[in-house]
Structure 1
Amino acid sequence: MNRIDWQSDIEQVRKELPRLHHNFFHAKNEAKFYSKIDRLAQQFSHMDTYGIVMELARVVATARDAHTAVMLPQNYRLPLDCYPFAEGLYITATNDESKGLLHTKILKIEACETGDAYKKLTEIIPHENLQFVLSSLPSFIICVDILYGTGIITNPEEIVLTVENDEGKAFKHTVRPLKYDDYERAESFSKILPLYRQNRERFYWSSLDSGILYVNYNKCREMETLSVR
């Protein structure tokens, strides 16, 4: 397997992304973009692959364009689901080994407090508004590759979570990651999935219940069985 020519790749991003994008500097990010990409060009030889990829994601995210992003590695995931509610980051589903974590609030991921983890992840999520960040956080914050690449965790094989139960008692729990395919097969951590997690293979679908219409629009693409028009 050939080594990745990071120097060439970084230079290509530096030159071609602003040229090919319709309006890459619309967010007045020109100085920030060149500062970050030039610093990466000087430091990449001292970084591992994950660190380089995450820094490229930060560079691209300066455009604040949700349609322009680095495709990040997502090979391993924590054996749980969580959601950033106003009251904090709560675990909404787990596998059997970690069922004691269900409905607890995550205070720390290793030594990183939840608020600091949010900040680190926000830097690599291209977004025009906070709502897009919130929609991306549930999948990013359980992705071990991303947690490791952003420095939130240092050991990708065992991750120590500090959580708080509904009685206000904090405790630590060590979890081991699942391969992405194993996580997908264990989709039904809880028997009833929230609406936004149902029918993920469909680009758009709807449900009418008690006079309330729920519409889920996942992708702007045609389905063979139902036109978007």
Structure 2
Amino acid sequence: MNDFVRHDLSAARVLLIEDDEILAAMVQEVLEGRGLTVTVASHPEVGLALHAVHRADLILLDRMFPGADGLDTLRHLRDKGDAVPIILLTSRGELGDKLEGLGEGADDYMGKPFSVDELEARIRALLRRARPSPALPPDTSVHGPFTIDWAAMRVEREGQVLDLTPQEFRVLSHLIRTPDRPVPRAELLEKAWPPDGRPASPRTVDVYVTRLRSKLGRESDHPWILTLDGEGYSWNG
């Protein structure tokens, strides 16, 4: 699970507005253990005051408080033109409540109880979208959380270089560059291996795909390489 600790979160400030002290303490402890700076406010008015003094990069906002509705806080921020990413946290899981929150300007919505791993994945996704992307050097492209330097055969996941062998890189490269269809094992053997080093068995491809999956990691339940029965593999970026 510590695979979630990434460079793009290391300086991010999260404001958690939540009146459940036990839940707030648990979320704060887990997220701070993974590189985030988390400030907790037990009431929307306190949260707004903290945000005004030390602007948060993202707000986790409970929906219901004694005598207050988190949607009022959401509306207040959006009416002021504040585009800070906001994830609503609530035990109200009805579709109408979710649509209402999203319609008022929330960026995401999580019903309680929730997985902190999934919460962090959503935080990370929102932070990536909210932060401007730096200019990429030549021969470099971004695919999901991965930055690929094609000339150097180097893959980074949010600032951390993955330890890929040249052959693993060639397999990954062909999958990414063939995004619109399944890639059969025989094609990977032909296109991703040099002629003088091509293995005899197509099942060797399975071994390399397994290694790649392990090194690429997962984001929540999102595998980066899909297995398509009877057809081969496909990039899921």
**If each structure's helix is expressed as a fraction of its own residues, which one has the higher value?**
2
TM-score range, shorter chain: under 0.3
TM-score using structure 2 length? 0.26
Higher relative contact order (CA 8 A, sep 6+): 1
TM-score using structure 1 length? 0.27
Q: Which has the larger radius of gyration?
A: 2
